[in-house]
Amino acid sequence: MTQTYQPLPLHRLETGTGYLRPKQWKPERVTTDDPAAMVMTDLSQVTTHTVELSTPLGKALETMVKRGVRLLLVCDINGQVIGLLTSRDIAGDKPSRILAKAGGAWEELLVAHIMTLRRKLEVLLMADVLNARVGDIIATLRQVGRQHALVVDNDPVTGVPTVRGIFSLSQIALQLGLDIDPARQPTTYAELEKAGGPL
C-alpha cells in the first residue's frame, strides 16, 4: 500500500520572533532537609553559558548580566572545560592586582587573566549529590568559602566526565525564601543562618 504525504503550508517568519530556551523547573521553596538536587542547576535540562580564554572581561561581564548568571564555564575550542569565571572574580580585587603588577587598562583584561584554572577547581560528584540534602550543600560551600560548586557526572553516551550541574549560594538562598537582593553580592552564610536557623 502506497502512502501519500502532504506538504505542510509554509509561512513567513514574523519580525520579533524569538526562540525557546530550556528552563529547568525548580520548586519555589525548599528547606535545608530537602534533596540537594532540588537546588542544583541541572545542565542536562538547561543550557549553560560559556566563554573562551580570549574573551574580553567586559564582554564576559555583559554576558553574565544579559543571561542573569554569575558563573561562566571557560571552554577550549573542543568544548572542554578549562576553568570558570564568576562575577566575584570580576568584582573582586583580582583585576586591580593584575593591573597594578602588569600595567594596562581594565578594558584590556581577558577571561584568561582572571579565571580560575581547571587544576584549581574542586568539584562534587553527582553520585554524592543524589544522596545529599540542601543543608549539606550549604555546609560544603561554607567549608570552602565559595559561592558556587560544580557537579561532575559521566556522560551517559561517552562515559567521559562532564559538568552536569552547578550549585549557587544565591539560588539556594532564594529557594529557601530569603529576601536577598540579587544585585548585591555575595550572599552570606550569616544571612542563611538568620533566615533558616542554624545550618
Q: Give residue limits of the domains in the chain.
A: 36-193
Asked if the model's pLDDT at residue 145 lies above 80, the reply is: yes
Type of residue found at 181: D
- Look at residue 146 and tell me whether its pLDDT is greater than 80: yes
- On whether the CB atoms of residues 166 and 41 are closer than 8 A, the answer is yes
Residue pLDDT, tens place only, 64-119: 999 888 899 999 999 899 999 998 888 888 888 888 888 888 888 999 999 999 99
pLDDT at 179: 63
Cβ atoms of 51 and 74 closer than 8 Å: yes
pTM of the complete model: 0.79
Provide the pairing of β-strand 161-168 with 148-154.
antiparallel
* Residue 192, pLDDT score: 59
pLDDT at 150 over 50: yes
Q: Rounded to whole angstroms, what are the CA distances from 79 to 73, 83, 113, 116?
A: 10, 11, 19, 17
What is the length of the chain? 199
pLDDT at 13 (0 to 100): 85
Over residues 4-16, the mean pLDDT reads 88
pLDDT score recorded for residue 180: 54
pLDDT of residue 197: 47
Strand-pairing partners, residue 50, are 73
Tens of pLDDT along 151-198? 999 999 999 999 999 999 888 998 998 865 444 445 555 665 654 444
What pLDDT, on the 0 to 100 scale, is given for residue 17? 82
36-193 CATH fold: CBS-domain (3.10.580)
Report pLDDT for 183: 46
Give backbone dihedrals phi and psi of 108, rounded to 5 degrees, phi first. Answer: -90, -10
Provide the grid cell at 139. 555546609
pLDDT of residue 82: 94
pLDDT of 190 reads 62
Please list, in sequence order, all residues whose beta carbon lies within 8 angstroms of the beta carbon of residue 73, skipping any fewer than 6 positions away. 48, 49, 50, 51, 81, 83, 84, 163
